[in-house]
Amino acid sequence: MITLTGHDLTTTQVKRIARDHEEVAIDSSARERLKGSRAFVDRLVEEGRVVYGVTTGFGSFKNVHISRGQVRELQENLIRSHATGVGAPLSREHVRASIVVRINSLLQGHSGVRPEVVDMLVVFLNKDIYPFVPSQGSVGSSGDLAPLSHIILVMMGEGEVIDRDGKRTASRPVLQSLGLAPLELQAKEGLALNNGTAVQAGIGCLALYDAVQLAKVFDVSLAMSLEVLMGTLAAYQERVHMLRPHPGQIVCARNVRTLCQNSGMVDKDEHRVQDAYSLRCAPQVHGASRSAIEHISEVMHREINSVTDNPLLFPDDGDAVGAGHFHGEPVAQVMDYLKIAVAEFANISERRTARMVDPALSEGLPAFMIAAQEGGLSSGYMIPQYVAAALVSENKVLAHPASVDSIPTSAGQEDHVSMGTIAARQAFEIVQNAKQVAAIELMCAVQGADLRAPLTLGTGSAAVYRTIRAEVPVMKKDRILYTDIEKISALIPDKILEAAQQAVGSLE
C-alpha cells in the first residue's frame, strides 16, 4: 500500500502502482486540504465572483459569464467536448500512471475538488478500472485535456473501459458492478481534473524508470562486448576518468571494470594500443546519457509533486489566480532529452554488435559468429544486426524534438503549446526499441564468448552469460532467432542485473 500525500511521490512508486498494481491510500492531512479547497470553491460560486472556468467559459470563451445555476452543466460540457482523442488506446499502465499523478497533484489542496472525487480515482486504481483513452490528441497545454477527459468520462459513467480481454465496453455497467454511482461534477471539478500534465508526466515516469534500469544493462552488454572483442581496459582506469570527471562516465567505467574482474579476454593482446570508439569512448557516451537521465529524474520528481491545473486556489488568502502551470514545457523538454539519451545508448550498442559479426573487425571471430565450417550454409547473426540497425534508425526519427513544434490553439488564446505528451510517448517507444537493441548485443556477446573458449569472461559477465544460456542455447547452425531475442529481452532488466549484481555487487 502506497499512501499518497501530494508531496513525496517518486518515479519508482508510479511504476509500482501503474505496472505492479500496488494499491494506494490517501493521507489524512491531504484529505483535510481537499475539504478546505472545496469549501473555498463553494464560497466563490455563492459570492458570484468572476473566476476562470468556475463562473466563466473556457479558452477563448473566458469572458463569457456562467450563471450559478449552470456551473455543473459547464463542467460536464467541458469533459464531453474535450474527450476527442484519436488513435490506439494508451496502455493500461500508462492510464494508471496518469491517474496516480493526477491524484497526487489534486491532493495539495489548490484545485478545489471534493474528497469523493479523488476517492473515485483511487477506486479506479485499486479495482483496476481501465478507462479507454486514445493516445493521440494532446498538445500538452492546457495540459492533457483530451486524454484526461476520456478518464473523467468514465467517472461520469459516460465513457468506455477496456476489459481484461482488450474489448471496449460501456463504463456505466462496470461502475454499477462495483457499487459506484456515476460522478456528478460540481463547480471547478471538470477543469481541475482535465487541466494538467498528468498523462505526459505519467508516461514519462515509466519511460524514465525503464531508462534508469536500461543504463545499467547497457553497461553490462558493453562489458561483455569489450571482452568478446578482446579489448583493453586501459581507457577505463579510474585515474583516466578523474581527469574529465563527469559523474556518469565515472560510473560507467567503474561498472565495466567491476564486471570484467578476472576476465581471460581483456588486456591479453600486448600489441593492442587502443580500441575503436564504440569500445574506448563508451564511458563518455554512456556517461553523457546517464548524466542526462539524472537531470531528467530531478525535473520529473518536481513535476509529479506539483499542482498543474488552473486557476490555482489559495483558500487561506481568499485568492484564485489564473496561471500557467498546466503548460507541459518542463516535461516536454526533458522527454526530448530522454529520447536523445536513450537513443545514444542504442546507437553505440549497435556499433558494437556490428563489430562482433564483421570478421574484419571482430579480432578473429568467424564471420557472423557462426562456426567457419557452417558459414555460407548458415547466415549466423547477420540479420539480428540488421534489426538493431533498423531500430536505431527508427529511434533517430523519434528523437526529433517535439517540444520545438508549437501550433496555436483555441483561436489564438493558447498561442504556444508544449507537445509534451508526444515527446513522452516517443520517449517510451525509444526505450522499448533500445531494450531490443540491448538484447541483440547480449545475444551476440554470449555467442562470441562461446567462440572464444577456452578463454573466460569476467566474473560479472560470466554470471550474465549463464543466465542467458539457461534460456538460449549456443547456435551451431542456423535456427529461428526471433524467439531468442524475445527470451533475452524478457530477462532485461531484472534477471540480467540480478545475475551481475549477485556476482560482483551492486552496479550504479
**Inter-residue contact 251 to 281 (CB < 8 Å):** no
Q: Check if the beta carbon of residue 32 is closer than 8 Å to that of residue 112.
A: no
65: left (phi over 0), alpha (psi -120 to 50) or beta: beta
Please spell the DSSP secondary structure of 112-146, one letter per residue: ---HHHHHHHHHHHHTT--B--EEE---SSSSSHH
Query: 170 - beta bridge partners?
Result: 160
- State the alpha helices, DSSP H only, in 157-197: 171-177, 189-194
Q: Which residue has the cell 565450417?
A: 373
Residues 286 and 252: beta-carbon distance below 8 Å: yes
- State the distance between the two ends of the chain, measured CA to CA, in whole angstroms: 27
Is 52 one of the annotated active-site residues of the chain? yes
Run of H or E including 170: strand 168-170
- 479 CB neighbour count, 10 Å cutoff: 10
Extended strands (E) in 185-321: 312-314, 319-321
Residue where the block lists cell 486540504:
33
Find the catalytic residue in 52, 130, 209, 381: 52
According to DSSP, residue 111 is labeled S
CA distance 482 to 264: 30
Yes or no: say if 281 and 241 are a contact pair by the CB < 8 Å rule.
no
CA neighbor of 94 nearest in space, from 55, 144, 66, 130: 130
Cell numbers linked to 219: 553497461
**φ, ψ for residue 323, nearest 5 deg:** -140, -165
Question: Which own/partner contact pairs does 81-85 have at CB distance under 8 Å and 24+ positions apart?
Answer: 82/145, 82/146, 82/149, 82/194, 83/146, 83/149, 83/150, 83/152, 83/153, 83/159, 84/137, 84/146, 84/149, 85/133, 85/134, 85/135, 85/136, 85/137, 85/138, 85/146, 85/147, 85/149, 85/150
- Residue 41 CA to residue 140 CA, distance in Å, equals 26
Question: Hey, which residues are catalytic here?
Answer: 52
